[in-house]
Amino acid sequence: MSEKEEILRKIKTQELAEAFNKVDRSLFLPENLKDYAYAHTHEALPILPGINTTALNLGIFMLDELDLHKGQKVLEIGTGIGYYTALIAEIVDKVVSVEINEKMYNYASKLLSYYNNIKLILGDGTLGYEEEKPYDRVVVWATAPTLLCKPYEQLKEGGIMILPIGVGRVQKLYKVIKKGNSPSLENLGEVMFGRIGGLYGFYDDYDDIEFRVNKLERQIKSILDNLVKKT
């Protein structure tokens, strides 16, 4: 049994299995990696310095846990090469995908132009995307220091969010279901992702001093606003 067939055998949702069969991953990879589209599926593939595409086994597992169906709207944080974006778009009604890296945004934009149900945003995914809320599902392709509150707030009640959380080499994948003020969290196992950038990401992913200062100012303002509301 090939690695592709092995992944297909493990997929629980019929819609994802059909999308996986339909979308050719090699079309989304650089020329030097096309032969690895369905090989070494437990390994992340390097796309740019410091940027990898999620290992195929793990990526498909995450989408399977999202429980994707027709009629849904999905927020994706981290478009990357666009492969997983395409899989989601094959299933749901609309995908809003936010990518912070301009080179990756441009790369994916060309490959995803075929789809009319994908909205690509160049911006900070840790803020979610207010204009299109609420979302049925949220998936995050980089590890966060904690639960990303903004994207979580933009979920519908009962919606599902899949994201890795952790610091250093201790990272865990979580399935979060929105339930009022007490979200349901399920630990799906240990993982290893690149760290997320942005306002609610990791500081040292950015060398821009002005960005760091603005980030601190916005965090302080948010804390002060919350204190005012409580008084």
Compute the average pLDDT of residues 200-215. Answer: 60
Cβ contacts of residue 101 below 8 Å, gap of 6+? 48, 51
Where do the domains of the chain lie?
3-196, 201-231
- Mean pLDDT score of the chain, rounded to an integer? 91
Give 69's Cβ-side CA count (13 Å radius). 7
Which tens digits make up the pLDDT trace of 70-80? 999 999 999 99
Kindly state which CATH superfamily the domain 3-196 is placed in. Vaccinia Virus protein VP39 (3.40.50.150)
Strand partners, 45: 53
Of 76, 33, 72, nearest in space to 56 by CA: 33
Q: Are 104 and 82 in contact (CB under 8 A)?
A: no
Measure Cα distances from 8 to 20, 34, 91, 128, 147 in Å. 8, 19, 16, 31, 30
Which tens digits make up the pLDDT trace of 52-100? 999 999 999 999 999 999 999 999 999 999 999 999 999 999 999 999 9
The overall pTM is greater than 0.75: yes
Q: Is the peptide bond before 134 cis (omega within 30 degrees of 0)?
A: yes
